């Protein structure tokens, strides 16, 4: 894998980068299907397909605009966002962008008396996603 500057990874909503982000993290979870039985001789056997798959994206940053705060605290709005994209830092690769529906599971904002306002948020995928 080639080296890449982490600052080049971008999380966007509706094709607009979320402002103030310093750290982006993306992970994928594949839940295995255990088919171990008495004939397995005590060795775990897993199917070649996942029971469930889910992408988690988390961000941390310095407060710059109210986009995520407004989404998180909206009494009427839905936390299911249908316009989220994550661009990997090594954008020269063929599969450099993940797009899909993501649910905003958490938002946190810290307000230290002697520093800038910081935030963190986490999103989990809902349904299938595309990689392009």
Instruction: List the domain boundaries for the chain.
Output: 6-131
pLDDT at 8: 87
Reported as a single tens digit per residue, the pLDDT across 89-109 is 886 655 689 999 999 999 999
The CA distance from 52 to 97, in Å, is 21
User: Which CATH architecture does the domain made up of 6-131 adopt?
Assistant: Roll (2.30)
**CA nearest 84: which of 99, 64, 69?**
99
Take residue 91 and report the two structure tokens written for it.
Answer: 């954008």
Q: 117: exposed, middle or buried (C-beta count within 10 Å: 0-12, 13-18, 19+)?
A: middle
Low-confidence ranges of the chain (pLDDT < 50): none
């Amino acid at each position: 894998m080639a080296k890449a500057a982490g600052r080049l990874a971008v999380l966007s909503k509706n094709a607009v980068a979320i402002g103030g982000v310093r750290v982006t993290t993306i992970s994928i979870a594949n839940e295995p299907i255990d088919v171990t039985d008495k004939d397995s001789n005590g060795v775990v056997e897993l199917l070649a397909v996942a029971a469930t798959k889910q992408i988690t994206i988390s961000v941390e940053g310095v407060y710059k605009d109210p986009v995520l705060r407004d989404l998180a605290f909206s009494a009427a709005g839905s936390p299911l966002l249908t316009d989220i994209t994550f661009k990997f830092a090594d954008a020269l690769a063929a599969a450099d962008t993940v797009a899909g529906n993501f649910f905003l599971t958490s938002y946190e904002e810290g307000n230290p008396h002697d520093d800038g306002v910081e935030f963190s948020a986490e999103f989990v995928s809902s349904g299938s996603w595309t990689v392009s």
